[in-house]
Chain A
Amino acid sequence: MKIPYSYLGRQFKNIDPYLKDIGRLVKSGDFTLGKDVAKFEASFAKLCKIPYAIGVSSGTDALILSLEILGIGHGDEVITAPNTFIASVGAIAMTGARPVFVDNNEEYTIDVNKIEKAITPKTKAILPVHLSGCPADMPKIMEIAKKHNLLVVEDAAQSILAAIDGKHVGSWGETACFSMHPLKNLNVWGDAGIIVTRSKELCEKLKLFRNHGLATRDEIEIFGHNSRLDSLQAVVANRLIKDVVSITDKRIANARRFDEAFSKLKGYITIPPRRKNVKQVYHTYVIQAKNRDGLYAHMLKKGVEVKIHYPIPLHLQKAAKYLGYKEGDFPLCEEHCRTIITLPVHQHLTSKEIDYMIKCVREFYLG
């Protein structure tokens, strides 16, 4: 059996309805911001139960724009975890600020017990990442932020619809930043991102900032970026947003089946804690495996395209050299990099495929 990681072929088997929508857009020439983008922003805000949403050109830009508009830049420090996708840290560095790492916990999110030790007079913000679709411990992070007068920007790239006690991600930070990259739970046909915020003022500033700082066609209020959600991608997103709840439910159901099966492989497989009040949306299904590299090779041989998110801790990347971290600084992150493995968990998997993957894992350990 062959189970590729990407499901785009299955998802877009019938593209005629999309092409019809795009045809309408092409004929209208309404390619920059405009009504399709506005419609998507309104639907997305409603879905997240957050008042405002601002479409931008990528999840990375969502982070950069958020941090910059909050005044973070040269001389500042921003705290985040070292086990995330490169963009979380790239965004901090792009503002001119210095990324400061705090180890992650067993849930793969920032270890809130270690944040305070990393705070210095230069710290301006905390950037928790809801990695794999699991929300970081936001109530505790907000407590720390309040105490030390820090800003919080949520990296929600992988976590649309994730929630704690029924409160969606984006409910805590100044902003939350989502990606709609082709492999995200809500995905479009290229790069795209969206920011949500509860502040009208921030929303207005971000709308300026993503569009050259243009207050009107001729007046430039601030020097800004050009980072707009493409209308063409908004057209795709407007179709897919109708499916995102069922996509999420399917991923959660798939993850439950994996969890149940792998809970019988104690000693071989470690499933991260699943807190009852937390809704994880399984952008990725990441477990820790004994003899990971062996399992990885075995699964590939069996036709299952597994992945590792991510194999190199960010503090040990070449890009981080100037920050002066060394091996051993973040032991849990480093251990995870050696033990984590990602199985396909997407909404298009069949029951047979899930059984097959479980069988392959069992077979590797139990023969």
Chain B
Amino acid sequence: MNIPYVDLAGQNKAIKKEILSAIGKVLESGQFILGKEVEAFEHSFAQLCGTKYALGVGTGTDALTLSLRALNIGHGDNVITVANSFVSTASCIALSGAKPVFVDVGEDYNINSSLIESAINSRTKAILPVHLTGRPADMAPILKIAEKHKLAVIEDCAQAVGAEYRGRRVGSFGKIGCFSLHPLKNLNACGDGGVLTTDDENLYRKLQILRNNGFSSRNDCDVWSANSRLDTVQAALLLVKLNYLKAWTDKRRANAQFYHEHLASLAQIKIPPEKPYEKSVYHTFVMQAENREQLIKFLENKGIGTKIHYPIPIHLQPAAKSLGQRKGSLPVTEEQSKKILSLPIYPELTAKELNYIVKCIHEFYGQ
């Protein structure tokens, strides 16, 4: 059996006709930049997240970059985040001129809120928690700390569209929520895309200007900025995909449930349990495995694709050398990076495939 780690072709084949017809409609209107499909998508996305506003931008990375800029964070500032995320969480901070300060994570792969306060100093301007793997970070203590120290909270929701924390959707807790619509995400464009959420009207107006070269009208430029717009053709096909998101998320959760149940008996596998007050959307299904490297090879020989998200923590990357956080400074992050392994979790997986994956893992550990 051949089970790739991701199967984009599978998802898109099923809705190809709908996608092409949505693109065709944009063509007929000749409106390729912003316009009605982008607005419709923003409206639906805000509704989905339970926020007043949503704003389509070029990428998830740009969503973070624009958020920092909108909050005037840059040279000389510190932003607290985690090192086990995708690189753009940290690079957008570094490219803004600010310094990423990494705090260790908990068993849930998310920021350990009890370690945040000791990382705060007079330069700290914001906390940037990541809802990694599609699982919400523990927002209550984070918001409390932010309030106490007057820090902004920017949520990195790149992997977590639709995830819930105490009944509320991610992206509705911080000043701004930043989502990615990259092809590998749960809600995915056929190319790069991103979207921001906020309840703050002033921030929303500012971000509208910032994503569009600083224009407040056709000819008036209020502030220098870049150009980072969600493509209209992508918005059109995202509107199609939004109709499927709930079903896809349910299927991801069902797949995860299956793994939880069928791998629980293995002492060599550790899977962080979902807490009662959270709803993960399982962008990735990340377990910790003994003998990981051999397991990867074994599964590969069985035709099963796996990935590691991510094998080298950001603070140990060549790019982070100048930040000064050495090996050993984030023990949990570093320990997890040696054991974590992501199994295929996409909605198109069949029961047969799931059974086969579980069977092969049991076989590897000799049970």
Please pick, from A87, A181, A230, A312, the residue contacting B33 in the complex, using a CB distance under 8 A.
A181
Please pick, from A29, A218, A232, the residue contacting B233 in the complex, using a CB distance under 8 A.
A232
B226 and A27 contact, CB distance less than 8 A = no
Stretch at the interface among A43-51, A55-63, A109-117, A338-346: A55-63
A223 and B319 contact, CB distance less than 8 A = yes
Complex Cα distance, B183 from A225, in Å, reads 17
Complex Cα distance, B97 from A25, in Å, reads 37
How many Å from the CB of A222 to the closest CB on chain B?
5
Cβ contacts A106-129/B at 8 Å (1 or 0 each): 000000000000000000000000
Instruction: Take A61-B227, A86-B215, A90-B224 as given contacts and tell me if A225 and B95 are in contact as well, using a CB distance cutoff of 8 Å.
Output: yes
Give every chain A residue within 8 A of B220 (Cβ-Cβ). 312, 317-318
- B306 at interface by CB-CB < 8 Å: no
A8 and B224 contact, CB distance less than 8 A = no
Please pick, from A8, A89, A91, A230, the residue contacting B192 in the complex, using a CB distance under 8 A.
A230
Please pick, from B16, B223, B231, B308, the residue contacting A190 in the complex, using a CB distance under 8 A.
B231
Complex Cα distance, B220 from A311, in Å, reads 9
- B9 at interface by CB-CB < 8 Å: yes
A9 and B311 contact, CB distance less than 8 A = no
Nearest opposing residue in chain B for A8, CB measure: B30
Complex Cα distance, B59 from A23, in Å, reads 23
Nearest opposing residue in chain B for A224, CB measure: B91
Instruction: Take A29-B8, A213-B319 as given contacts and tell me if A22 and B33 are in contact as well, using a CB distance cutoff of 8 Å.
Output: no
- B88 at interface by CB-CB < 8 Å: yes
A15 and B58 contact, CB distance less than 8 A = no
B191 and A191 contact, CB distance less than 8 A = no
- A32 at interface by CB-CB < 8 Å: yes
Give every chain A residue within 8 A of B7 (Cβ-Cβ). 29
Interface residues of B in 196-241 (CB under 8 A from A): 213-216, 219-229, 231-234
Give every chain B residue within 8 A of A58 (Cβ-Cβ). 58, 226-228
- B120 at interface by CB-CB < 8 Å: no
B32 and A310 contact, CB distance less than 8 A = no
B59 and A57 contact, CB distance less than 8 A = yes
- A246 at interface by CB-CB < 8 Å: no
Complex Cα distance, B62 from A14, in Å, reads 34
- A94 at interface by CB-CB < 8 Å: yes
Nearest opposing residue in chain B for A187, CB measure: B32
B312 and A219 contact, CB distance less than 8 A = yes
Give every chain B residue within 8 A of A182 (Cβ-Cβ). 32-33
Give every chain B residue within 8 A of A212 (Cβ-Cβ). 61, 86-88, 91
Number of interface residues of A (CB under 8 A): 64
- A233 at interface by CB-CB < 8 Å: yes
Instruction: Take A22-B20, A32-B192, A221-B319 as given contacts and tell me if A191 and B229 are in contact as well, using a CB distance cutoff of 8 Å.
Output: yes
Nearest opposing residue in chain B for A32, CB measure: B183
- B294 at interface by CB-CB < 8 Å: no
Q: Size class of B's contact patch?
A: 35 or more
A232 and B183 contact, CB distance less than 8 A = no
- B23 at interface by CB-CB < 8 Å: yes
How many Å from the CB of B45 to the closest CB on chain A?
18
- A19 at interface by CB-CB < 8 Å: yes
Cβ contacts B347-366/A at 8 Å (1 or 0 each): 00000000000000000000
Interface residues of B in 92-125 (CB under 8 A from A): 94-95, 97
Please pick, from B16, B59, B233, the residue contacting A27 in the complex, using a CB distance under 8 A.
B16
Give every chain A residue within 8 A of B314 (Cβ-Cβ). 220
B318 and A221 contact, CB distance less than 8 A = yes
A228 and B16 contact, CB distance less than 8 A = no
Cβ contacts A299-325/B at 8 Å (1 or 0 each): 000000000001110100111100000
How many Å from the CB of B63 to the closest CB on chain A?
10
Give every chain A residue within 8 A of B19 (Cβ-Cβ). 26
B24 and A19 contact, CB distance less than 8 A = yes
Complex Cα distance, B19 from A224, in Å, reads 31
Please pick, from A64, A96, A224, the residue contacting B226 in the complex, using a CB distance under 8 A.
A64
Instruction: Take A221-B318, A226-B62 as given contacts and tell me if A90 and B226 are in contact as well, using a CB distance cutoff of 8 Å.
Output: yes
Give every chain A residue within 8 A of B231 (Cβ-Cβ). 189-191, 230, 233
- B26 at interface by CB-CB < 8 Å: yes
- Most chain B CB neighbours (cut-off 10 Å) among A93, A99, A220, A228: A220
B317 and A219 contact, CB distance less than 8 A = yes
Give every chain A residue within 8 A of B183 (Cβ-Cβ). 29, 31-32
How many Å from the CB of A352 to the closest CB on chain B?
22
- B90 at interface by CB-CB < 8 Å: yes
- B40 at interface by CB-CB < 8 Å: no
Give every chain A residue within 8 A of B62 (Cβ-Cβ). 226
Complex Cα distance, B220 from A320, in Å, reads 11
A213 and B87 contact, CB distance less than 8 A = yes
How many Å from the CB of A102 to the closest CB on chain B?
18
How many Å from the CB of A305 to the closest CB on chain B?
13
- A199 at interface by CB-CB < 8 Å: no
B191 and A223 contact, CB distance less than 8 A = no
Complex Cα distance, B214 from A230, in Å, reads 23
How many Å from the CB of A75 to the closest CB on chain B?
10
- Most chain A CB neighbours (cut-off 10 Å) among B223, B224, B229, B234: B224
Instruction: Take A212-B61, A310-B219, A318-B221 as given contacts and tell me if A90 and B192 are in contact as well, using a CB distance cutoff of 8 Å.
Output: no
- B166 at interface by CB-CB < 8 Å: no
B90 and A191 contact, CB distance less than 8 A = no
- B329 at interface by CB-CB < 8 Å: no
B32 and A319 contact, CB distance less than 8 A = no
Nearest opposing residue in chain B for A99, CB measure: B224
- B327 at interface by CB-CB < 8 Å: no
B20 and A218 contact, CB distance less than 8 A = no
Nearest opposing residue in chain A for B100, CB measure: A223
Give every chain B residue within 8 A of A320 (Cβ-Cβ). 221
- A214 at interface by CB-CB < 8 Å: yes
Interface residues of A in 127-182 (CB under 8 A from B): 181-182
Give every chain A residue within 8 A of B233 (Cβ-Cβ). 189-190, 232
Nearest opposing residue in chain A for B16, CB measure: A26
The 10 closest A-B pairs by CB, nearest first: A29-B8, A190-B231, A93-B224, A230-B191, A223-B91, A226-B61, A8-B30, A60-B227, A220-B317, A31-B183
A residues lining the B interface (CB < 8 Å):
6, 8-9, 12, 15, 18-19, 22-23, 25-29, 31-32, 57-61, 64, 74, 86-87, 89-94, 96, 99, 181-182, 189-191, 212-214, 218-228, 230-233, 310-312, 314, 317-320
User: Can you list 22 residue pairs at the A/B interface with Cβ under 8 Å?
Assistant: A19-B23, A25-B190, A28-B9, A29-B12, A31-B189, A57-B59, A74-B75, A86-B224, A87-B213, A90-B221, A90-B227, A182-B32, A189-B231, A213-B87, A214-B87, A220-B320, A226-B60, A226-B192, A230-B191, A233-B191, A318-B220, A319-B214
